[in-house]
Amino acid sequence: MNPTLENISSLLQSSSELMEDNLPEAIHKAREAEKIATEIFDTKALADCSKQIALCYSQASNYIETLKAVLHAQELYQSVNDYKGEADCLNILGGVYNFLKDYQKRLECNLRCLELRKKVNDKNGQLSTYNNIGDTYTVMGDYENALHYFNICLSFPDISTRIKAIVHHNIGEVNFFKKDYPNALIYLNQGLELGKESNYWQIIIASSTMIGAIHNIQNNTTEAIKILNTALKVAQEKKSIEEEIPIYKELSITYAKLNNFNKAYEFLNLHNQYKEQLLADNNAQQLKKIEFNFQLKAITSETEETKRKNTQLTKAFNKIEQQRNEIEFKNIAITDSIHYAKRIQLAIIPSENKVKSLLKNSFVFYQPKDIVSGDFYWTEKIGAKTFFAVIDCTGHGVPGAFVSLIAFNLLNKVVLEKQISQPSEILTQLDELLIRLFKKSDKNIRDGFDMGLCCWDNEDNTLNFSGANHSLFRIINNELQEIKGTKASIGYSLYETKHIFKNHTFKLEKGETVYLCSDGLPDQFGGEKGKKLKWKGFKNWLIEIQSTSMDKQKNKIHQLFKNWKKDQEQIDDVCMLGVRF
């Protein structure tokens, strides 16, 4: 080899080795090589230098400089028909578009890269590109194509254990997104074992966390805790905060399912704490980029060749980075926490299958205003008595959701632990417990909830009802009767007076239908005049739907609500429960 070219090769090799630990020095080496390549007018060598510079900047998450360098390298490789070099550039460009979340452009780069790597028979490059294409299709939601390309990876001979671990995990992830949990578990467990075999700790953590999530979905809480704790131990040993965050999230969901809210909140707080720390680290990384650029200027100056075209795309990058700093970093933690709170809330709300197992001929119409809700419904059975309720907590969104968790916990305590079955006494106990709980605070808390609660005695077919600012609606032979609850809320009171909740008991008639509903439906603005539906309009809806089955009633109520609201904003959470006896 020409001594000068050998020197360039040596500098580029040094640059590659320094990338992990000393990026400024790595770029310095690549720039030295670039200077020599420019002096000897060697296009191929200059392209190699620009490609290495692009890789360094990509490692530093400086995608503007990555783009400049990789476009320069790509142009040079094309001028000398170096297909392998051009393919490498397309691979780097795919990473840039992935950062931009422009997955269609990333896919175009992936497919062109694969075409070129086939042309030069670059088997290792093809394997990597097939996996990248599968990953791109995954984030695009095209799961069939994703599986197709991942399976091609597995057909390669002599594939390393490490690559097998990645691909098996990726296939498991796709099946998870498809909600094909049996197949997801098969591939994720294979990925986990291969990860252990190749000491690939990132895959060990990722596969274990996703397996834990599936166990949560399937209510296998014991298995979920076991594997999530294993994943957490590895993440903590590696001091990988980024890997710990989703584990804390899943552990919180697990303990919420077990009604262990102390543990659930403990892990939720850890999740939020580390999430905030990670966001702070990301902001610090932006400052490090500035410092990094100053170091580079002290070592070397950019050559005219790297001050390239594509001004519009560079401006787009600048704008995107500014938006990410000013908006995304501020909002992502909040939004993520709210979505996570939704998962915890859904974990405590009974599924419709559970409701139907206790109340065979029933429906639930549940439509939160925001991601999380202040309204929820509740069902339980003790012996021959079946309880069902609709609860409307103070506010909506996050504040309402927090009160709903307290209400859920207290309701279980009174009914399941204290074994109190009379609805009026249950409401009285809830009122006393909530006031006592809020009195522990130095602040004057005026939160609480309204609710309607029924207890159906299956043996004598009687229904007991008590309401706190809630009514029960009975319909017998198409005649509607409203049983009004006590005009008082649970917990919230302007006066230090004990609420006395009235109990209503009546014998159920065959074919009778009863309904509980929060005020979200009657308070909704809509119709031709943009006014509230009010309880009168709601009662008319109940009469209108009586000739249909309970399943069809749910669809009918949903359609009536949608038609009424039209383009108006939903103003409150909506929760309605109907039962036909």
Question: Which of the 8 DSSP states describes residue 305?
Answer: G
Find the range with the poorest average confidence among 80-94, 143-157, 173-187, 239-253. 239-253
- The overall average pLDDT reported for the chain is 86
Mean pLDDT for 245-268 is 87
Is 76 contained in some domain?
A: no
User: Which two structure tokens, joined as six digits, stand for 154?
Assistant: 């597995």
pLDDT at 576: 97
Is 80 exceeded by the pLDDT of residue 440? no
Is 242 contained in some domain?
A: no
Is 80 exceeded by the pLDDT of residue 531? yes
pLDDT at 257: 86
pLDDT at 494: 45
pLDDT at 409: 85
Task: Give the domain extent around 524.
Answer: 350-580
User: Identity (one letter) of the amino acid at 87?
Assistant: A
List the end-to-end C-alpha distance of the chain, in Å, as a whole number: 90
How far is Cα 451 from Cα 437, in angstroms, rounded to an integer?
A: 18
The larger pLDDT score, comparing residue 497 to residue 281, is at 497
Find the range with the poorest average confidence among 23-32, 44-53, 347-356, 567-576. 347-356
Is 369 contained in some domain?
A: yes
What's the whole-model pTM score?
Answer: 0.56
Strands (E), 72-224: none
How far is Cα 183 from Cα 307, in angstroms, rounded to an integer?
A: 50
Mean pLDDT for 551-562 is 95
Confidence of residue 298 (pLDDT cuts 50, 70, 90): very low
Is 80 exceeded by the pLDDT of residue 333? no
Is 356 contained in some domain?
A: yes
Query: Which residue in the block uniquely carries the two structure tokens 């594939």?
Result: 159
SS3 category, 449: strand
Q: What CATH number has the domain bearing residue 564?
A: 3.60.40.10
Is 50 exceeded by the pLDDT of residue 297? no
Is 307 contained in some domain?
A: no
Q: Provide the domain count of the chain.
A: 1
| Cα–Cα nearest to 173, from 132, 226, 214 | 214
pLDDT at 565: 92
Is 449 contained in some domain?
A: yes
Is 408 contained in some domain?
A: yes
Is 70 exceeded by the pLDDT of residue 324? no
How far is Cα 188 from Cα 276, in angstroms, rounded to an integer?
A: 29
Confidence of residue 63 (pLDDT cuts 50, 70, 90): confident
Is 70 exceeded by the pLDDT of residue 196? yes
pLDDT at 134: 97
Q: Are 392 and 467 in contact (CB under 8 A)?
A: no
Query: What does the H/E/C string look like for 10-52?
Result: HHHHHHHHHCCCCHHHHHHHHHHHHHHHHHCCCHHHHHHHHHH
Is 11 contained in some domain?
A: no
pLDDT at 319: 61
Number of H helices, E strands in the chain: 21, 12
Q: Are 184 and 148 in contact (CB under 8 A)?
A: no
Confidence of residue 292 (pLDDT cuts 50, 70, 90): very low
Q: Are 36 and 15 in contact (CB under 8 A)?
A: no
Mean pLDDT for 317-333 is 54
pLDDT, tens digit (0-9, with 9 covering 90-100), for 197-226: 999 999 999 999 999 999 999 999 999 999
pLDDT at 316: 56
